[in-house]
């Protein structure tokens, strides 16, 4: 039996603020973390593998999963559907493994409002400025001008949800933000209510004391 129930770590930010880089670094720091693989209706990009970066579904398959309550959360983003299959998350939690989610505020809100909400630790990453956010998007050289403009427009709405999260990081420096993120996770794992074994441990201490 696991010493504790796995927690769900939600990492959100507007595109370009650094959440994907932070998620990757967190996974390197702790290989026991499970990264939540989302399902999507968008086409695979070059080099992407089904079941690794995403579970690639057509729209009918995706809608069937939603109808069967097999999605923990789902959303429509830039013309495609994205969602988190529920089964793998529940399996990891039961085994005491923490799951990391790189998702937007809509997905985070749905998970926080679900039956698994008490197991959520949510973190929002802010850019140091809007100008720097745009610079980072352009620096990735992945998107067209139209897509960059759409992402910048959407960032206004995304940033407005910062206060819904447990923690907020301002990513001025990626190394400093990484250190803050590790500190948050370490502290959350150590919370008393996440350590069910403590009840038996303290009971044993009391027995030992009584037998003195």
Q: Give this prediction's pTM.
A: 0.83
Exposure pattern of 60-73 as b/e (b: 16+ CB <10 Å)? eebeebeeeeebbb
| 100 strand-pairing partners | 9, 35
The secondary structure of residue 50, as a DSSP letter, is B
Q: What pLDDT was estimated at residue 8?
A: 96
Q: Count Cβ neighbours within 10 Å for each residue of 119-151 and write b for 16 or more, e otherwise.
A: bbbbbbbbbeeeeebbebbeeeeeeeeeebeeb
Residue 80: strand pairing partners: 77
Torsion of CA 49, 59, 143, 99, to 10 degrees: -60
User: Tens of pLDDT along 158-201?
Assistant: 999 999 999 999 999 999 999 999 999 999 999 998 888 899 99
Q: Give residue-wise pLDDT tens across range 38-96.
A: 899 998 988 898 888 889 999 999 999 999 999 999 988 878 999 999 988 999 998 98
Superfamily of domain 8-197: P-loop containing nucleotide triphosphate hydrolases (3.40.50.300)
8 Å CB contact between 74 and 81 = yes
Q: Which residues of 169-185 are buried (b: 16+ CB within 10 A; e: fewer)?
A: bebeeeeebbebbeebb
| Residue 90 β-bridge partners | none
């Amino acid at each position: 039996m696991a010493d504790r129930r796995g927690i769900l770590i939600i990492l959100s930010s507007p595109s370009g603020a650094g959440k994907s880089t932070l998620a990757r670094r967190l996974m390197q720091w702790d290989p026991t973390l499970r990264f939540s693989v989302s399902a999507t209706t968008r086409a695979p990009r070059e080099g992407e593998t089904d079941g690794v970066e995403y579970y690639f579904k057509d729209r009918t398959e995706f809608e069937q999963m939603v109808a069967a309550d097999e999605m923990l959360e789902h959303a429509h983003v830039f013309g495609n559907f994205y969602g988190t299959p529920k089964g793998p998350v529940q399996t990891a939690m039961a085994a005491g493994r923490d799951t990391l989610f790189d998702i937007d505020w809509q997905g985070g809100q749905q998970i926080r409002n679900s039956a698994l909400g008490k197991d959520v630790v949510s973190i929002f990453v802010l850019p140091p400025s809007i100008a720097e956010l745009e610079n980072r998007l352009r620096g990735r050289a992945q998107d067209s001008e139209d897509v960059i403009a759409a992402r910048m427009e959407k960032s206004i709405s995304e940033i407005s949800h910062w206060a819904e999260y447990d923690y907020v990081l301002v990513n001025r420096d990626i190394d400093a933000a990484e250190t803050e993120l590790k500190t948050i996770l370490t502290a959350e794992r150590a919370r008393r209510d996440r350590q069910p074994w403590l009840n038996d441990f303290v009971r044993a201490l009391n027995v030992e004391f009584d037998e003195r």
